[in-house]
Amino acid sequence: MTVTSSRTRLRPTVAVVDLEAIRHNLRALKPATAEVMAVVKANGYGHGDVAVARAALDAGATWLGVALVEEGIRLRGAGVEAPILVLTEFPPGSEDDALAAGLTPCLYTDGGLEGLAAAARAGGRRVAVHVKLDTGMHRVGLPPERTAEFVGAAQDAGLEVEGVWTHFAKADQPLDPFLAGQLDSLLAQLDRLAATGFRPRYRHAANSAAIMATPRAHLDLVRLGVALYGLDPGPDLAGKADLRPALSWRSAVSMAKRVRAGEAISYGLRYRLERDSNIATVPAGYADGYSRLLTGRARALVRGRRYPVAGTVCMDQIMLDCGDDPVEPGDEVVLIGPQGDGRITADEVAGWMGTINYEVVCGISDRVPREYVDE
């Protein structure tokens, strides 16, 4: 087993990422008929973009997806050479840097097309682009009825339209007719393009949820996001694929003390003890991404048993109420992941926070080192 770290660790709080789990998840979900884009935006959903990208490519991904030009440039700086699609238009003024890094642009506005075409001409580059259609999510994208016109304008401007794609709003609810309507809208525009003799190399629509539940959406390329990390895209899809959570979040007890009944714990003194109790302090708090919303709700594992977070989550620390159970400085604490016969999942933490598993793992801050286990 090989263990590497993103940087020197001076305290016990760490996020450990299993790269073999990343590979397993990609292989488990890769369609037989489509290529896979591993989406590594937001620092690989909090797991670490460079390490995850390399593991995904090793397992058969042929593309990477990012949200920001800066994210793509970071991957290039780390020596990643695979095609990288930036899933939103290049911000004005970033075109030269993005193209110099060999990033593939997404287009969906006239202004974006004009700026990119000008940069391509000035640099003497032949640039391949992916045109995004807004088929109903109404975040970003080209109105579908403009597809043929826009593709023609891009070609006239000297750009190569390599891909046409869309993004689903309700793929995690595969029986909802809105999903089928979005896919039908995309396919109708592709049929109109085909009638003119044009077919893009890549037609893509499927995110993690659609990869798992909507084979008709696989087309030429699928975009594997949250499920790459072993997390279910939504409650309706829980258990539908053999996913292995890749991340565990661990720390250790820094102080243990016996506190008398009637005393209260942490800011605001809202957690009052009804009996004498062993209180364990753990060096992880909301500055690390352990949300203050977990106050009064969360549990952590020590010696394989669950204990409640006692009182308000602090910026740098939490306290656990261990009752009469023994606890000592140095005891491992698991915030997410397995310990003994117990496990705390990102979905469970999300439930305590009133959010989704995506936010939990993306929210683990940069001051928490990432360690990579590779077996």
Which residues have a catalytic role annotated?
A: 41, 267
Whether 127 contacts 153, CB under 8 Å:
no
Question: How many CB atoms lie under 10 A from the CB of residue 322?
Answer: 21
CA angle at 7 for the pair 4 and 12, rounded to the nearest 5°: 85
**d(C-alpha 243, C-alpha 227), whole Å:** 7
Q: β-strand 14-18 against 202-204: which pairing, if any? A: unpaired
| Amino acid sitting at position 342 | G
Strand partners, 256: 280
**d(C-alpha 352, C-alpha 207), whole Å:** 26
Long-range contacts of 356-361 (CB under 8 A, 24+ apart): 357/226, 357/231, 357/232, 358/45, 358/226, 358/231, 360/336, 361/45, 361/46, 361/47, 361/229, 361/231, 361/247
Whether 318 contacts 297, CB under 8 Å:
no
Reading the block at residue 119, the tokens are: 């940069």
Strand partners, 305: 302
**76-92: buried (b, 16+ CB within 10 Å) or exposed (e) per residue?**
eeeebebbbbbbbbbee
DSSP state of 98: H
**d(C-alpha 37, C-alpha 309), whole Å:** 39
